[in-house]
Structure 1
Amino acid sequence: MPRKVILGIFAAVLVAGVTFLAVNGSKTLATTDNGKITQADYVDELKQSSAGRQVFAQMVINKVLDKKYGKQVTDAEIEKSFNNMKSQYGEDKFKQYLSQNGMTTRQFKQNLRDKEVMQVAVKDNYKPSRDQLNQAYEDYVPDTKVSLITTDNEDDAQAAIDALNDGAEWDDVYHQYSKKNAAVSGTGQLPAFDSTNTTVEQEVRMAGFNQGEGAYSESPVKGSKGNYYVVRMDHMDEKPAQAKIESKLKDKLTNDFINDSKNQDEMKKIVGKLLSKADVKIKDSDLKGALAGYMKAAA
């Protein structure tokens, strides 16, 4: 999972906790022989920490962006992203991931939504140059269909490759070696994807793009979710004209811009300008400087 998503999940958990504590401030969290600690005490302490101020800043940003761009992100889109991610992990591994991070399904989906709203906001305020678009088109790989044999370990994937090398039919090898993968249909085929796709694992995409039609991977492909794959390239469409996919290329460049840590200052500038337009006023003296980095970047 991308680093920005993981950080966003961490923030989402803290946001939920801080909101709850703020509403229920008088409740006692602990008692000691030297007095008690209330939720209000905890919130006051959290506000003094850099993590607490960062979470507060993210809460304000989410609030502002949601008003302007939230309607452009549908529940159906979030549900699709959620299901794609869950299918890549597998049901059991995904539940384990949520448990390890103290996440509920609702919190995870909210984090995905906040991320999508941020992408819409940046896209509206970030304009790729013509040179960037031309280069993106040159690098573009059109819709490609691949089939996967999905295994838990490298030995099983290698055994599947050995069987194919010995002349066995793909369908037979698939039924013998592949475990269940909710993302595929039939004997392992994924829906078509192109090089702008971010839901199919990068290792699978690269394996498909770099093989001729009908060819399969010569060695096991290790995925980012812990699975191993045998990847067969089934078909690649003709490359469309640039004008037909320009919007898709802009989306890809925007996503790359967001996920590149070298662009953090530019990101802050964009967000800072949106905060300024929203007339944000911080009432709590302890949190006055929480948005300073964004406002300074936008000045």
Structure 2
Amino acid sequence: MKKKLLSVAAVASVFTLAACGSNDEAVINYKGGEVNKADVQEEAYQKAGAQIAFQQTMNELLEKEYGKKVTDKEVDAEVKKTKDQFPDKEQFNTTLQTAGIKNEKEFEKVLRTQLLLTEAKSAKSKVTDKEIEDRFNQEKVEVKASHILVEKEADAKAIKKQLDDGGDFAKIAKAKSTDTGSATKGGDLGYFTKGKMVEEFENYAFKDGVEGKVSDPIKTQFGYHIIKVTDRKEKKDFTLEKESDRIKKALAEEKAAQVNPNDIYRSLIKKYDVKIENKDFKDAFDLDKQEQQQMQQQMQQQQQQ
């Protein structure tokens, strides 16, 4: 979303020319002629006017709907966070100008729009007490496991027989596991909670009574795993009261990341009864059509691969 806002800001800055001087004022001179403000504005309007009109409308509606929930203090904090990533003010300003943003004041407006959109996403990402409790129960229990990963089922079955015949799990993992990250540690994955591994892996690892046992080959998207759970425990001093706020925030962020901005724009368009007076702008506001076109393009790209 950030890149989109920056590009819009870059084009939108062209329209600010109208605020200073007359439209026939030259912005470029060359031998035998010139380019004036009206020429630039007309070209920009033809190429990006509809998109700018859409974005400007959405920015204003976001402000109307969520403006009271985004404070100047929050915007200032985001500006500072960005500036702190640069060694000096000069490089910060240069980067802004490269992105088409004239100055820090204009950058604040861009960030404010991003924060408004984040607020809108959060409003659509309510977290229930049950979701918090379910996540807490997931995180409360952790297991420690090792695994051997191979590509073919036949290889996995052969390894399982080796282990059943007394083979050393760690040595076989180092020699044959394709998971290079854990293979060097004898297949050890350390402790983990639910939600960290793929579903098929967790279905075995978190079953009661599997500690110390070696699984049959288990197929996942990565290949065939042979799993050995070496420990299972509940975290100490881990209570719902202490963890509730953290879990709620994490769940809200996860949900917000899944929110389609177009769904927010659709609801704003409907609530504020947006009417497009210029027929040339209609496609910019037809979000269903845009999404359908994007889907078709993705399908075509997949077919070409």
Q: Evaluate the alpha carbon distance shift between residue 83 and residue 14 of structure 1 in structure 2; reply closer, same or farther with a 3 A threshold.
A: same
Shift of 1:274: 1.2
Shift of 1:105: 0.8
Whole-angstrom CA distance in 1 between matches of 2:58 and 2:113: 10
Alignment of 1:71-220 (within 5 A): 71-92=68-89, 93-103=91-101, 104-127=103-126
Q: Could you give the per-residue CA deviations for residues 219-278 of structure 1, whole angstroms, max 9, x where no partner exists? A: xxxxxxxxxxxxxxxxxxx766343335422442245335xxxxxxx3212211211211
- The one of 262, 266, 289 equivalent to 2:283 is 289
Whole-angstrom CA distance in 2 between matches of 1:94 and 1:37: 30
Whole-angstrom CA distance in 1 between matches of 2:95 and 2:266: 33
Percent identity, aligned pairs only, is 23
Structure 2 equivalent of residue 45 of structure 1: 43
Structure 2 equivalent of residue 145 of structure 1: none
Whole-angstrom CA distance in 1 between matches of 2:16 and 2:118: 24
Query: For structure 1, which runs of at least 5 residues remain unmatched after alignment?
Result: 141-237, 259-265
Structure 1 equivalent of residue 264 of structure 2: 270
Amino acid in the other structure paired with 1:113:
R
Whole-angstrom CA distance in 1 between matches of 2:51 and 2:78: 26
Amino acid in the other structure paired with 1:274:
L
Aligned partner of residue 60 in structure 2, secondary structure: helix
Structure 2 equivalent of residue 252 of structure 1: 253
Using the TM superposition, name which of 82-91 and 130-139 deviates more.
130-139
Structure 1 equivalent of residue 186 of structure 2: none
Whole-angstrom CA distance in 2 between matches of 1:137 and 1:112: 33
Amino acid in the other structure paired with 1:48:
Q
CA radius of gyration, larger in: 2
Whole-angstrom CA distance in 2 between matches of 1:31 and 1:96: 25
Whole-angstrom CA distance in 2 between matches of 1:131 and 1:25: 62
Give RMSD over aligned pairs.
Answer: 3.7
Shift of 1:133: 5.8
Amino acid in the other structure paired with 2:78:
S
- The one of 47, 55, 62 equivalent to 1:65 is 62
Structure 2 equivalent of residue 17 of structure 1: 14
Query: For structure 2, which runs of at least 5 residues remain unmatched after alignment?
Result: 140-236, 292-305
- TM-score norm. by structure 2 comes to 0.50
Query: 8 Å contact 1:13–1:107 — kept in the other structure?
Result: no
Q: Evaluate the alpha carbon distance shift between residue 25 and residue 98 of structure 1 in structure 2; reply closer, same or farther with a 3 A threshold.
A: same
Q: Evaluate the alpha carbon distance shift between residue 137 and residue 284 of structure 1 in structure 2; reply closer, same or farther with a 3 A threshold.
A: farther
Q: Evaluate the alpha carbon distance shift between residue 138 and residue 295 of structure 1 in structure 2; reply closer, same or farther with a 3 A threshold.
A: farther
Whole-angstrom CA distance in 2 between matches of 1:110 and 1:65: 12
Whole-angstrom CA distance in 1 between matches of 2:5 and 2:275: 24
Q: Could you give the per-residue CA deviations for residues 173-207 of structure 1, whole angstroms, max 9, x where no partner exists? A: xxxxxxxxxxxxxxxxxxxxxxxxxxxxxxxxxxx
- TM-score norm. by structure 1 comes to 0.51
Q: Could you give the per-residue CA deviations for residues 89-137 of structure 1, whole angstroms, max 9, x where no partner exists? A: 3325434422433431112111110000011112213456889767866
Q: Evaluate the alpha carbon distance shift between residue 88 and residue 23 of structure 1 in structure 2; reply closer, same or farther with a 3 A threshold.
A: closer
Whole-angstrom CA distance in 1 between matches of 2:112 and 2:124: 19
Whole-angstrom CA distance in 2 between matches of 1:20 and 1:254: 41
Whole-angstrom CA distance in 1 between matches of 2:94 and 2:36: 32
